[in-house]
Amino acid sequence: MTAYDDLMAFQRQTEALAQVSGRLGWDQEVMMPEGAAAQRAEEMAALETVLHARRSDPRIGEWLDDCVTMDETGHANLRLVRRQHERAIRVPARLAAELARVTSLAQGIWARARADEDVAAFLPVLGDVVRLRREEGAALAQGGDPYDALLHDYEPGTTSDDLAAMFARLRPRLVALREKALAAPPAPRLTGSFPEAGQLALAHEVARAFGYDFERGRLDKSVHPFTAGSGDDVRITTRTDEADPFNCLYSTIHEVGHALYEQGIDGAHLLTPVGQGASMGVHESQSRICENQIGRSRAFTGWIYGRMRDIFGDFGIASENDFFRAVNRVARGHIRTEADEVQYNLHILLRFDLEQALMRGDLATGDLEAAWNDRFLADFGLAVDRPSHGMLQDVHWSAGLFGYFPTYSLGNVYAGCLHAALCRDLPALDADLARGDPGAAIRWLHAKVHRYGSLHDPLATITRAIGGEPGEGPLLDYLEAKFG
């Protein structure tokens, strides 16, 4: 056994335990009885204590020092282990366990506060989460910027300055496009009711069409759709609204995009550091290109229109063109997850600025609601009428995911770049999609992105896939062509 073999045997067990933690997270959102919340917080804290102890184990430093010349996979694994180890030794074990316990509890408290429209009920635990994550950010940053240190967990190699500069370039063209789209004649709307069973049947059919492997995953319902797990157990969730079938359909395609990435990583990397997505931004590029550039395209919505008429009968839309316009309707609204492609990134910019202020201590949690509502009115020309339409709409901050939101917009930018390359390489793409067959597009994504997992840095992953440096241009060009 070489030092590398020893390290990887140890790491394989750590990755397996991290998978267990992910499975528990899925269970908490999908299966756990409500009365188990406090006990579950103890269980998550115990597991996090184990994971933290393993990731900060001093033997890792020794093994890393003793590893000799490696192949590309070996180098990548060492890079990722080193990053995880350096992170772990900076965070006290007590803090890691406390974060796991408090964020597990906070998600249930947030869900009740949102249902009750009760900001005050959420603020104390939000205060705890913010305090603990700031403490963690400071420990990780070692004098540097605490928000950048947290962002680094989700998007290694990208700083908040990089993102702020990119967002500054995005904003004016998005705002101009939004004004233009809102001034256009309103798109038609679907009428009638869409029974849940039909929505779920369509969700399963579309997931299969995209290539989601149900033998190595499952599709359930949850309040907030998400994907959990790597390798051979990658689960997705969706939600249904009988008045709005697009909620279920497009959240399913979105999560399928994430899941295809995890299911598509070369099996040789299973339970190794390389065996998972390169970053949250790269991950989001996979979900977004499936949901938007493919799933909301004129060609694919034509096929969806036919399937939905087969399942639901007449729903007041007379043609494929009207259906395409209904799917891509631009309208004023409060909810990020229901936003159209044009306004979506403006939601992210709002959260990005507010969460930086929270993490840097420039905004107190008690002032968050007012700050949110003021900014929302300024950015969207719309007053927030209730907390569930404002600062209580998203689960992320209760889960402690500060630094996560901006990767959504980065993912949209990457999806724009990948889509431009995909159109260049696959001239028959629209003909395929019009038949309800995204297979060739998914095979392209698999060959260019999925199979590598974290073999390359996030930026290198995209650069190699598109054959050049990524930027926001292709996304904006695509949006202006579609909505302008």
CB of 349 to a second copy, least distance (A): 38
Which one of residues 49, 73, 159, 222 is an interface residue with a second copy (CB under 8 A)?
49
**The only residue of 34, 65, 314, 469 in contact with a second copy, by rule CB under 8 A:** 34
Alpha-carbon distance of 15 to 271, in angstroms, equals 5
Q: Is 196 among the catalytic positions? A: no
Residue with tokens 């409500």: 34
Q: From the CB of 120, what's the least distance to a second copy, in Å?
A: 25
Q: Which residues contact 454 (CB under 8 A, 6 or more apart)?
A: 76, 80, 273, 274, 275, 276, 277, 278
Which of 231/474 has CB closer to a second copy?
231
Q: Does 431 bind a second copy (CB under 8 A)?
A: no
Query: Binding of a second copy at residue 266 (CB under 8 A)?
Result: no
Long-range contacts (CB closer than 8 Å, 24 or more residues apart) made by 377-381: 379/346, 379/349, 379/350, 380/332, 380/334, 380/343, 380/346, 381/332
**Shortest approach of a second copy to residue 477 CB, angstroms?**
40
- Residue 135 Cβ, how far from a second copy at the closest point, in Å? 22
Residue of the chain from 6, 42, 196, 437 that contacts a second copy (CB under 8 A): 42
Among 3, 6, 24, 320, binds a second copy (CB under 8 A): 24
Among 29, 40, 170, 343, binds a second copy (CB under 8 A): 40
Largest Cα–Cα distance in the chain? 69
Applying CB under 8 A, does 13 fall inside the site for a second copy?
Answer: yes
Q: Does 337 bind a second copy (CB under 8 A)?
A: no
Q: Binding of a second copy at residue 232 (CB under 8 A)?
A: yes
Distance in angstroms (rounded) separating the CA atoms of residues 136 and 134: 5
Q: Which is nearer to a second copy, 24 or 175 (CB)?
A: 24
Of 120, 403, 177, 162, nearest in space to 279 by CA: 403
List Cα–Cα distances, 244 to 177, 220, 249, 315, 323, in angstroms. Answer: 25, 18, 9, 11, 13
Residue 130 CA to residue 402 CA, distance in Å, equals 9
CB of 219 to a second copy, least distance (A): 10
Among 7, 8, 45, 259, binds a second copy (CB under 8 A): 45
Which helix (H) or strand (E) element contains residue 238?
Answer: strand 235-238
Q: Which among 29, 98, 155, 255 is annotated as catalytic?
A: 255
* List of residues 6+ apart from 166 with CB closer than 8 A: 409, 410, 413, 472
Q: Which of 108, 137, 156, 217 binds a second copy (CB under 8 A)?
A: 217
47 binds a second copy (CB under 8 A): yes
Determine, following the binding rule CB under 8 A, whether residue 31 of this chain makes contact with a second copy: yes
CA distances, 356 to each of 142, 164, 353 (Å): 17, 11, 5
* Tokens 């005050």 belong to residue: 120
CA distances from 62 to 59, 77, 82, 190 (A): 5, 15, 11, 62
Number of residues engaging a second copy in binding (CB under 8 A): 38
Could you list the active site residues? Answer: 255
Write out the residues near a second copy by the rule CB under 8 A. 12-14, 16-17, 19-20, 23-24, 27, 31-36, 38-40, 42-43, 45-47, 49-50, 213-218, 231-233, 235, 270-271
